[in-house]
């Protein structure tokens, strides 16, 4: 597996494309800023959202049971899955029992996390992603590069080529409206033919047993109402206590995600439609472990809005695929580390720690602080790498003793001042590859300051500086 | 008011590579009538180690800082990032000292230079002139960690950043409006080396933004960001200059 640094460097080789990617996401970030500013008590709303999450997740068993009872009372069949494998197995069993071979699926990051599509395909079930961007990705044989805008890395001309190949649109067609129409016709056939619908869940309301789904395309609504079998899959952390809590989260979610006041469709599913069978699969897959970790539990508060990706200067300039984990960017980093510290060890280092992620997060997860804490976990587990560890150890030794520090600084300054600049400003040094080193001064601050203080004392002793201050 | 003992905390790279920034800080404090000491035993706050995840190494340096500065009433530092290190993150490093009075005092009395001027010395305006077009670079740790500015992603109506207020009081200064008001420059401490390509790419975007806005000089309270930006500016042979805010204000005041 290539490191983030290498994958990012490869991404940046196509400079014009990298700028386009950065700008497309910055546009979303700016929309988000404008929308956030339209809510005067925005910061208080974030605070409230965090308080609700904290309360709900601290009382998770109670709210899950309440949700389960209320959903069951409305006719849904509720299942619990400990991990991804169990989740996949349960979904497959439900489909098999009804002999469903074609599934119309709506976007779900949980199913990405569990690898549901691949699993179902391996077991003879055709899964059609019905969110437009997800369908593009699926046809292209890729994985999402963003949790809300999964095909943000693909340009409209490329979508045209993919659709030409798979949907038979005209060669060279890149008009978004015409391409969308073609996708709509194609998806309509799938919706009508599908034997089951699967979707993710944005919020599960304990008080009512409602499953709340937010989309812009209405695809989830077709998927959960047309087929006679519908399966909603959700992580345990999606449960919120009351309907009124939606008044907090729905105001935050779309504004943070795409800079819209609210998603085009916000559907509240209270049980199956007449004649339909509805299942809800509630998955843990490591979430309760996250909640038990003192320094990291807030990562489980995430409502998957993607705002931290859009604002991240590194994400925008390295692309979602450079992170290796299914969820990229800042939030992906602090979730991936719970999965496999060693495998994803370079993810926490793919950050400047600028803190913008924390500042946009609608549930106020301390993302950048967790990132630096994860760096410490990587170091403690011995995964930093020998060269980096040695360099930092040496620096520490030098800095612990003031004399060594002074001598070290003197040597470096002397050396850099006497060498011609091409020696260090070249491709072989990491700093010097694209940046010049600072020009080295003749002496340190402490030396200059000593001389300065001395001359001041001399001045005042000779009476020339009687006023003391100028 | 009597300030008591003021300790000057000069970050390691300012001491060794940017003495002009340290000296500008010294002259500025002298002009403001602040008497202070520079404890010679200081070296580094431990941020490079901390930032890389080597907390144990960083803790050794944090401990040294605490020993050196605990007896000062105030600690002043011409860096938002190093100040933030002490204020925000020392609690993660000095777990055993966390509850001690010395620790609490150090953390609550360490100030970045601009905030020290505004919050402690109650300097409202600077009597001086700097007739240049300035790109104000709001380095992230000072901006978000210390609240030296108003982060563009937050909704805090009516607030004006402290550093901006100081700069705007200078005669003839024009702070240019950039496309992105406070995006990171991509330095990120050891990130600039671990992920050199991304770091430089972000930096060049930042520079282009300042250039297009017509800035002649990029000013920041963190010379580490400026070292990165200046390295790119000089490599690309651009006419932009970089200055630490202490240099600007010291130079503007006669």
The CA distance from B228 to B192, in Å, is 8
Strand partners, B174: B133
Tell whether A43 is covered by a domain: yes
Distance CA A214, CA A198 (A): 14
Q: Is residue A15 part of a domain?
A: no
* Residue A187 within a domain: yes
The CATH code of the domain that includes A353 is 1.10.1060.10
Residues of chain A in contact with residue B151, where contact means CB-CB under 8 angstroms, are: 356, 359
Q: Tokens at residue B115, please?
A: 């905030």
Other Cβ atoms within 10 Å of A277 Cβ, number = 17
Nearest CA in chain A to B139: A354
pLDDT for the residue A98: 96
Q: Beta strands A210-215 and A203-205: pairing type?
A: antiparallel
Mean pLDDT, range A127-155, rounded to an integer:
96
User: From A425, which residue of chain B is nearest by alpha-carbon distance?
Assistant: B235
Domain end marker among A285, A313, A344: A285
Cross-chain Cβ contact A435/B152 below 8 Å:
no
pLDDT, tens only, B26-47: 999 999 999 999 999 999 999 9
- Per DSSP, the residues of A231-290 read EEEEEGGGEES-GGGHHHHHHHHHHHHHS-SS-SEEEEE-SPPTT-EEEEEEE-TTHHHH
pLDDT above 70 covers what percent of chain B? 100
**A131 & A181 share domain:** yes
A388 and B38: CB-CB below 8 Å? no
Select the residue from B40, B80, B201, B227 to test the A interface by mutation, using most A Cβ atoms within 10 A: B201
Residue B5 pLDDT more than 80?
yes
pLDDT in the model for residue A465:
42
For the cut 90, the answer to whether the pLDDT of residue A432 exceeds it is no
CB distance B114 to B220 below 8 Å: no
Chain-chain contact of A431 with B193 (C-beta, under 8 angstroms):
yes
Is the domain of A300 the same as that of A159? no
Residues of B in contact with A427 (CB under 8 A): none
User: Do A335 and A256 lie in a common domain?
Assistant: no
Q: How far is B158 from chain A (nearest CA, A)?
A: 12
C-beta atoms of B196 and A434 within 8 A: yes
Hey, what's the torsion of the CAs at B245, B247, B252, B253, to 10 degrees? 100
- What integer pLDDT is reported at residue A461 of this predicted model? 65
Looking at residues A419-435, what average pLDDT do you find? 79
Q: Is the pLDDT of residue A171 over 90?
A: yes
The predicted pLDDT at position A466 comes to: 41
CB atoms A317 and B198 under 8 Å: yes
Total residue count of chain A as it appears in this document:
470
Residue A422 binned pLDDT confidence (cut-offs 50, 70, 90) = confident
Spatial separation of the C-alpha atoms in residues B20 and B13, rounded to whole Å: 11
- Give the mean pLDDT of A289-301: 97
Could you tell me if A333 and A421 lie in one domain?
A: no
Of A311, A387, A320, the C-alpha closest to B194 is A387
- On whether both A356 and A212 belong to a single domain, the answer is no
Residues A431 and A366 occupy one common structural domain: no
Residues 142 through 171 of chain B touching chain A, CB cutoff 8 Å: 144-145, 151-157
Residue B142's closest chain A neighbor by CA?
Answer: A354
| Residue of B159, B198, B203, B225 to mutate when probing chain A, most A C-beta within 10 A | B198
- Evaluate the CA torsion angle A171, A176, A181, A186 in order and state its sign: positive
pLDDT at A343 over 60: yes
A5 in a structural domain: no
Q: pLDDT at residue A464 above 60?
A: no
Does residue A467 have a pLDDT over 50? no
Q: Enter the pTM of the model.
A: 0.95
Residues 6+ apart with CB under 8 A from A465: A456, A459
Q: H-helix or E-strand containing B75? A: strand B74-77
Res. A358: pLDDT tops 50: yes
Residues in chain B within 8 Å Cβ distance of A392: 48-49, 52, 54, 57, 190
Mutate to test the interface with B, among A32, A354, A456 (most CBs of B within 10 A): A354
Residues A93 and A201 in one domain: yes
* Cβ atoms within 10 Å, residue A259: 20
3-state secondary structure of A457: helix
pLDDT in tens, B176-226: 999 999 999 999 999 999 999 999 999 999 999 999 999 999 999 999 999
Find out whether A197 and A219 touch, Cβ atoms under 8 Å.
no
Q: Which domain holds residue A413?
A: 399-439
A176 burial type by CB count under 10 A (0-12 exposed, 13-18 middle, 19+ buried): exposed
Question: CA of A404: which chain B residue's CA is closest?
Answer: B43
- Tell me, yes or no, whether A206 lies in a domain: yes
Residue-wise pLDDT tens digits, B132-176 = 999 999 999 999 999 999 999 999 988 899 999 999 999 999 999
* A23 falls within a domain: no
* Count of structural domains within chain A: 3
Average pLDDT, chain A: 94
Measure CB to CB from residue B145 to each of A355, A376, A400 and give the nearest one: A355
Pair A135, A52 in one domain: yes
Q: Which of A266, A285, A304 is the last residue of a domain?
A: A285
Element counts in chain A: helices (H) and strands (E): 21, 10
pLDDT(A412) > 90: no
Looking at residues B83-112, what average pLDDT do you find? 96
Percent of chain A with pLDDT over 70: 97
Q: Are residues A328 and A422 in the same domain?
A: no
Judge whether A278 lies within some domain.
yes
The arithmetic mean of pLDDT across residues A357-369, rounded, is 98
Q: Does the beta carbon of B19 lie under 8 angstroms from any beta carbon of chain A?
A: yes
CA of A390: how far to CAs of A126, A373, A384, B190, in Å?
Answer: 52, 20, 10, 14
A240-272, pLDDT tens digit by residue? 999 999 999 999 999 999 999 999 999 999 999
**Is there a contact between B197 and A9 if contact means CB atoms under 8 Å apart?**
yes
Hey, is the C-beta of B191 within 8 angstroms of any chain A C-beta?
yes
Strand A265-269 to A210-215 pairing = antiparallel
Q: What is the CA radius of gyration of chain A?
A: 27
Residue A239 near residue A64, CB atoms below 8 Å: yes
Residue A133 lies in a domain: yes
Nearest to B41 by CA among A369, A451, A400: A400
For CA atoms A459, A460, A464, A470, the dihedral sign is positive
Helix/strand/coil for B217: strand
Q: How many whole angstroms separate alpha carbon A163 and alpha carbon B34?
A: 70
């Amino acid at each position: 597996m290539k490191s983030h640094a290498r994958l990012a460097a490869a991404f940046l080789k196509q400079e014009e494309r990298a700028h386009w990617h950065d700008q497309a996401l910055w546009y979303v970030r700016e929309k988000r800023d404008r929308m956030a500013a339209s809510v005067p008590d925005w910061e208080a709303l974030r605070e409230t959202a965090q308080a609700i999450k904290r309360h709900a997740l601290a009382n998770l068993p109670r709210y899950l049971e309440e949700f389960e009872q209320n959903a069951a009372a409305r006719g849904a069949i509720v299942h619990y899955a400990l991990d991804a494998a169990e989740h996949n197995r349960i979904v497959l069993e439900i489909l098999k029992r009804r002999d469903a071979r074609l599934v119309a699926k709506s976007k779900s990051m949980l199913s990405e996390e569990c690898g549901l599509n691949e699993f179902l395909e391996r077991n003879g079930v055709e899964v059609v992603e019905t969110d437009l961007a997800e369908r593009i990705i699926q046809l292209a044989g890729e994985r999402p590069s963003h949790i809300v805008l999964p095909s943000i890395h693909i340009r409209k001309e490329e979508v045209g080529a993919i659709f030409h190949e798979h949907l038979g649109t005209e060669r060279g067609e890149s008009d978004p409206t015409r391409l969308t129409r073609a996708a709509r016709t194609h998806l309509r056939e799938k919706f009508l033919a599908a034997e089951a619908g699967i979707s993710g869940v944005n919020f599960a309301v304990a008080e009512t047993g409602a499953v709340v789904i937010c989309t812009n395309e209405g695809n989830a609504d077709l998927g959960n109402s047309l087929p006679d079998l519908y399966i909603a899959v959700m992580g345990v952390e999606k449960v919120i206590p009351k309907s009124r809590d939606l008044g907090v989260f729905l105001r935050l979610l779309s504004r943070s995600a795409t800079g819209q006041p609210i998603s085009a469709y916000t559907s509240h599913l209270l049980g199956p439609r007449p004649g339909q069978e509805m299942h809800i699969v509630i998955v843990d897959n490591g979430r309760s472990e996250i909640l038990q970790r003192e320094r990291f539990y807030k990562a489980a508060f995430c409502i998957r809005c993607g705002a931290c990706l859009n604002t991240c200067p590194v994400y925008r300039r390295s692309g979602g695929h450079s992170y290796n984990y299914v969820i990229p960017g800042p939030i992906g980093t602090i979730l991936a580390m719970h999965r496999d510290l060693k495998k994803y060890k370079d993810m926490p280092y793919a950050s400047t720690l600028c803190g913008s992620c924390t500042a946009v997060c609608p549930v106020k997860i301390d993302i950048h602080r967790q990132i630096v804490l994860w760096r410490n976990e990587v170091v403690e587990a011995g995964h930093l790498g020998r060269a980096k560890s040695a360099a930092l150890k040496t620096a520490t030794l030098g800095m612990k003793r003031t004399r060594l520090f002074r001598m070290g600084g003197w040597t470096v300054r002397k050396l850099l001042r006497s060498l011609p600049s091409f020696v260090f400003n070249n491709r072989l040094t990491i700093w010097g590859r694209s940046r010049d080193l600072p020009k080295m001064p003749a002496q340190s601050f402490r030396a200059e300051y000593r001389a300065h203080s001395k001359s001041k004392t001399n001045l005042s002793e000779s009476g020339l500086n009687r006023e003391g201050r100028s | 008011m009597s300030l008591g003992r003021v300790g000057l905390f000069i970050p390691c790279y300012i001491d060794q590579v940017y003495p002009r920034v340290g000296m500008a800080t010294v002259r500025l404090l002298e002009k403001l009538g602040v008497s202070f000491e520079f404890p010679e035993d200081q070296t580094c706050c431990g941020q490079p180690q901390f930032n890389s995840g080597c907390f144990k190494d960083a803790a050794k340096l944090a401990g040294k800082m605490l020993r050196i500065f605990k007896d000062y009433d105030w600690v002043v530092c011409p860096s938002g990032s190093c100040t933030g290190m002490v204020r925000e993150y020392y609690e993660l490093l000095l777990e055993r000292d966390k509850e001690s009075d010395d620790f609490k005092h150090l953390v609550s009395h360490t100030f970045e230079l601009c905030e020290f001027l505004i919050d402690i010395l109650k300097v409202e305006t600077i009597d001086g002139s700097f007739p240049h077009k300035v790109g104000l670079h709001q380095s992230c740790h000072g901006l978000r960690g210390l609240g030296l500015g108003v982060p563009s992603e937050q909704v805090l109506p009516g607030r004006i950043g402290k550093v901006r207020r100081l700069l705007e009081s200078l005669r003839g200064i024009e702070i240019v409006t950039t496309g992105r008001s406070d995006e990171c420059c991509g330095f990120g401490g050891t990130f600039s080396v671990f992920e050199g390509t991304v770091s430089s790419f972000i930096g060049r975007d930042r520079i282009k933004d300042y250039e297009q806005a017509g800035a002649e000089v990029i000013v920041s309270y963190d010379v580490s960001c400026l070292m990165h930006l200046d390295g790119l500016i000089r490599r690309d042979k651009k006419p932009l200059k970089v200055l630490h805010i202490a240099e600007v204000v010291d130079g503007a005041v006669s």
